[in-house]
Amino acid sequence: MSDHLPKAIDEGLAGCHSCGKVSPAALGRCPRCGSSLHTRKPASVQRTVAYLLGATALYIPANLLPVMTMTEWGDVMEPTILEGMVEFWRREAYPIALVIFVASIMIPLIKIVALGWLCAAATGRVKPSPRVLGRIYWLTELLGRWSMVDIFVVSILVALVQFGTVMTVSPRSGALAFAGVVVLTMFAATSFDPRLLWDQLDLGENSDTIPPQTESE
């Protein structure tokens, strides 16, 4: 390409992920802040996929198991996340139902699919445009935390609704599975190295002119 911009890795340099200082990767540790220094995050794709598989496995019990037990005058209700949402919808609280649907059902799914797709792109299995990739990565980093809202709702209800025989709320195992999904997708997002996407892009661009480099971490 006409303007080939230099990359840190080509000069054996690495930008510290913690303080930003550019140092020779051979140092192993950042001379400024002491973080370990890598040109690319080690085993990034493998670790991301492992976290994603864990999150996917937990996503099923997270949605099938009840997140809490509500006892009101002896009546016992054990809603799952989806049933909690449907209850809001039935009571015509549409905005809240929508918030729960997006935060608890959609975001974890979108995150798992998007990160899986980014892993496929980082290993050259799909070849999308870099702009799209940037948006998707930014989105997965931004949205993930909001899924935690249902866990906080459980914690708030458990703390507030303690009226002895009249009405009580206690947590159930679905909440644990759900919190696991959120935390695992957050780990998956931080293990992923977006620079791999650009490496793939350069590999594709250079392949017609010069033989592909045998670059390995």
Decide whether 14 or 177 has the Cβ nearer to Zn ion.
Answer: 14
Give dist(CA 123, CA 92) in Å, integer.
46
Q: What's the longest Cα–Cα distance across the chain?
A: 77
Out of 29, 91, 127, 135, point to the residue binding other proteins (CB under 8 A): 91
Decide if residue 33 touches other proteins (CB under 8 A). yes
Cα angle: 127, vertex 187, 41; to 5 degrees: 60
Find where tokens 């025989």 sit. Answer: 165
Other C-beta atoms closer than 10 Å to the C-beta of 116 total 16
Residues ≥6 apart with Cβ < 8 Å to 204: 124, 127
Out of 19, 60, 132, 142, point to the residue binding Zn ion (CB under 5 A): 19
Token couple for 175:
């909440």
Decide if residue 33 touches Zn ion (CB under 5 A). yes
Q: Sign (positive/negative) of CA torsion 7, 13, 17, 21?
A: negative
Q: Which does 12 bind (CB under 5 to 8 A by kind): other proteins, Zn ion, none?
A: none
What's the min distance (Å) between Cβ of 108 and Zn ion?
28
Give dist(CA 56, CA 73) in Å, integer.
37
Binding string, 139-168, against other proteins, x = CB under 8 A? ------xx-xxxxxxxxxxxxxxxxx-xx-
Confirm if 81 and 174 have CB atoms less than 8 A apart.
yes
By CB under 5 A, the residues from 60 to 79 that bind Zn ion are none
Q: Which does 81 bind (CB under 5 to 8 A by kind): Zn ion, other proteins, none?
A: none
Decide whether 28 or 204 has the Cβ nearer to Zn ion.
Answer: 28
Token couple for 142:
């931004």
Decide whether 60 or 138 has the Cβ nearer to other proteins.
Answer: 138
Applying CB under 8 A, the site for other proteins has a residue count of 64
User: Quick one: which of 62, 69, 95, 90 has its CA closest to 170?
Assistant: 69
Out of 98, 109, 113, 176, point to the residue binding other proteins (CB under 8 A): 176
Decide if residue 27 touches Zn ion (CB under 5 A). no
What are the residues binding other proteins (CB under 8 A)?
Answer: 5-9, 11, 13-15, 17-22, 32-35, 39, 88, 91, 93, 96, 99-100, 103, 130, 134, 137, 145-146, 148-164, 166-167, 170-171, 175-176, 179, 183, 186, 190, 194-195, 197-199
